[in-house]
């Protein structure tokens, strides 16, 4: 009933959005004398804001058609390297780029948003890296006949995809986990280290990840701890309506996750829309468009399988099995002590309200057999969760240091070119409690 009620409301809002869009066009039309009055400007702006907020959204495109390398534009095309029932491995092919640039697998969160949420992350890394990304599938679009997908499957996908991009005899790849996938990526690296897997990555970067949520718990962490596991099963899991390919599949709907995130910072979101309204009234369409662009992506949501969501709540947020050394993967213990040949960079934002300070850094402490000079930590001042992987500070402060970290751990890689060749950055030191801004 929950999903059906949402679809009913979405259908109504879709019609209201279309009507509001027509109304905004009428009030703002140069042929309408009222458009030149204060009332006309206010009405057009209000209807435009409502139309944008209520419009239905699907999976956005990446729209990354080119990048700059050594000041020259290079065409970029998307290529599907591997397909699986619940996701695909996508590569951004840079035509004419240096063949020996480091391979970088960016692992997008499976947390209610599409991989395109990391468009800015991919765009910034393209000039200096052969970039791949995990393009997770909306669970409501995967038929029940494809089976289930849980945290163990997520880890298997990562190991398989690292194997795909690291054929025998090729240089080791690099992996970047943004937020939620830090735990399965770290677990995959632990398992691959223990088994001496041939595709073991050379470096692992984790950004704002919940490795140990007992450190500086946020509102998200506290909610998971305050509610029993049965509460999540009974209150946030819904069945996909039968008119979708995944009809009958149990999921954690993306619209519920979006509602949770919106309610956490409701005041900020209301201010953003109020500012959008004022920009439109003042005729500042460029400023309004920047806000619209953010919300186009932010409101594009997808479902995740119930088994993955519930297992993550249990393992990561309630029982903290990874930092306790008790996490299991298909009967094998995930042992951070097995990591000895993968350099690790942990990145945190000072104002992160999703993963608190210290939660990602815990990964460095758990890797007890990794040499200190292969551990790095970066704490960026005045940056929230989203700003770690998108925006000016990501582009100008964080990305240059990550690029330098990757190049320092590469063999026979070309020097930085493109944006990274001229970006200013701070040299990092071995992790000994040091913090950098």
Minimal CA–CA distance to 362: which of 203, 190, 216? Answer: 216
Please count the other Cβ atoms lying within 10 Å of the Cβ belonging to residue 321.
Answer: 17
For residues 75 and 49, state if they share a domain. no
The total of structural domains in the chain comes to 2
For residues 316 and 401, state if they share a domain. yes
For residues 72 and 205, state if they share a domain. yes
Is the entire prediction scored with pTM above 0.85? Answer: no
For residues 278 and 148, state if they share a domain. no
Torsional sign, CA 159, 161, 164, 170 = negative
- Cα distance between residue 34 and residue 354, in whole Å: 46
Return the pLDDT at 222.
86
324, 214 Cβ separation under 8 angstroms: no
For residues 127 and 194, state if they share a domain. yes
For residues 131 and 18, state if they share a domain. no
| Within-domain flag for 253 | no
For residues 365 and 315, state if they share a domain. yes
In sequence order, what are the residues at sequence separation of 6 or more whose Cβ sits closer than 8 angstroms to the Cβ of residue 350?
357, 379, 380, 381, 382, 383
- Cα distance between residue 46 and residue 278, in whole Å: 9
Half-sphere exposure of 182 (CA within 13 A, CB side): 27
Provide the domain limits for residue 335: 66-225+304-421
Torsion from C-alpha of 139, 143, 148, 153, nearest 10 degrees: -60
Q: Which two tokens stand for residue 425?
A: 């950055």
CA angle 136, 139, 143 (to 5 degrees): 120
With residue 176 as reference, give the H or E element that holds it: strand 174-178
DSSP letter assigned to residue 72: E
- Cα distance between residue 316 and residue 367, in whole Å: 18
Beta strands (DSSP E) in 200-358 are 203-207, 238-239, 250-252, 304-305, 328-329, 332-333, 343-349
- Cα distance between residue 22 and residue 52, in whole Å: 12
| Within-domain flag for 431 | no
| Within-domain flag for 230 | no
For residues 83 and 25, state if they share a domain. no
| Within-domain flag for 310 | yes
| Within-domain flag for 241 | no
108, 120 Cβ separation under 8 angstroms: no
CATH number for the domain harbouring residue 149: 3.40.50.1820
For residues 31 and 90, state if they share a domain. no
Burial class from Cβ neighbours inside 10 Å (0-12, 13-18, 19+) for residue 214 reads: middle
| Within-domain flag for 254 | no
For residues 86 and 219, state if they share a domain. yes
Spell out the SS3 assignment of 253-278.
CHHHHHHHHHHHCHHHHHHHHHHHHH
For residues 116 and 211, state if they share a domain. yes
With residue 152 as reference, give the H or E element that holds it: helix 151-165
- Cα distance between residue 187 and residue 335, in whole Å: 8
| Within-domain flag for 142 | yes
- Cα distance between residue 378 and residue 401, in whole Å: 9
For residues 33 and 87, state if they share a domain. no
* Full pLDDT tens readout for the chain, 437 residues: 667 665 665 555 566 656 756 666 766 777 777 666 766 666 665 555 555 455 555 678 899 999 999 889 999 999 999 999 999 999 999 998 988 899 999 999 987 788 988 999 999 999 999 999 999 999 999 999 999 999 999 999 999 999 999 999 999 999 999 999 999 999 999 999 999 999 999 999 999 999 999 999 888 788 788 888 898 888 889 899 888 899 999 998 877 776 555 555 545 545 554 454 444 445 555 555 565 566 566 667 788 999 999 999 999 999 999 999 999 999 999 999 999 999 999 999 998 988 999 999 999 999 999 999 999 999 999 998 888 998 889 999 999 999 999 999 876 667 777 665 544 444 444 443 333 33
Note the helical H segments in 35-150: 38-54, 119-125
Summary count for the chain: helices (H), strands (E): 15, 14
| Within-domain flag for 365 | yes
With residue 92 as reference, give the H or E element that holds it: strand 87-94
- Cα distance between residue 222 and residue 339, in whole Å: 30
């Amino acid at each position: 009933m929950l999903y059906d009620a949402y679809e009913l409301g979405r259908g109504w809002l879709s019609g209201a959005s279309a009507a509001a869009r027509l109304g905004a066009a009428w009030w703002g039309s140069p042929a309408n004398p009222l458009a030149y009055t204060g009332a006309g400007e206010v009405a057009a702006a209000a209807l435009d804001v409502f139309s944008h907020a209520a419009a239905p959204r699907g999976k956005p495109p990446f729209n990354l058609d080119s990048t700059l390398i050594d000041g020259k534009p290079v065409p970029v095309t998307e290529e599907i390297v591997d397909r699986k029932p619940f996701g695909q491995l996508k590569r951004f092919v840079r035509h004419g780029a240096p063949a020996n640039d480091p391979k970088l697998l960016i692992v997008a969160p499976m947390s209610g948003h599409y991989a395109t949420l990391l468009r800015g992350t991919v765009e910034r890394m393209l000039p200096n890296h052969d970039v791949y990304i995990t393009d997770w599938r909306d669970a409501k679009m995967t038929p029940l006949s494809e089976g289930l997908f849980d945290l163990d499957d997520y880890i298997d996908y990562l190991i398989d995809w690292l194997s795909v991009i690291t054929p025998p005899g090729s240089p080791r790849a690099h992996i970047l986990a943004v937020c939620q996938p830090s735990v399965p990526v770290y677990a995959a690296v632990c398992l691959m280290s223990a088994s001496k897997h041939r595709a073991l990555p050379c470096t692992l970067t984790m950004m704002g990840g919940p490795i140990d949520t007992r450190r500086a718990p946020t509102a998200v962490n506290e909610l998971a701890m305050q509610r029993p596991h049965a509460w999540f099963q009974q209150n946030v899991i819904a069945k996909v309506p039968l008119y979708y390919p995944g009809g009958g599949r149990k999921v954690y709907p993306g619209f519920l996750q979006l509602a949770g995130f919106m309610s956490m910072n409701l005041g900020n979101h209301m201010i953003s829309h109020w500012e959008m309204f004022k920009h439109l009234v003042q005729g500042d369409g460029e400023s309004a468009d920047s806000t619209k662009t953010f919300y186009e992506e932010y409101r594009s949501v997808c479902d995740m399988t119930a088994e993955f969501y519930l297992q993550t709540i249990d393992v990561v947020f309630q029982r903290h099995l990874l930092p306790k050394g008790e996490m299991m993967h298909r009967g094998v213990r995930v042992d951070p002590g097995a990591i000895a040949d993968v350099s690790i960079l942990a990145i945190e934002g000072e104002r992160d309200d999703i993963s608190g300070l210290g939660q990602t850094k815990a990964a460095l402490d758990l890797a007890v057999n990794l040499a200190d000079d292969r551990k790095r930590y970066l704490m960026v001042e005045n940056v929230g969760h989203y700003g770690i992987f998108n925006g000016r500070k990501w582009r100008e402060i964080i990305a240059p240091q990550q690029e330098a970290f990757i190049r320092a751990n590469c063999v026979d890689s070309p020097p930085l070119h493109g944006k990274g060749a001229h970006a200013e950055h701070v040299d990092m030191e071995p992790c000994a409690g040091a913090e950098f801004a």
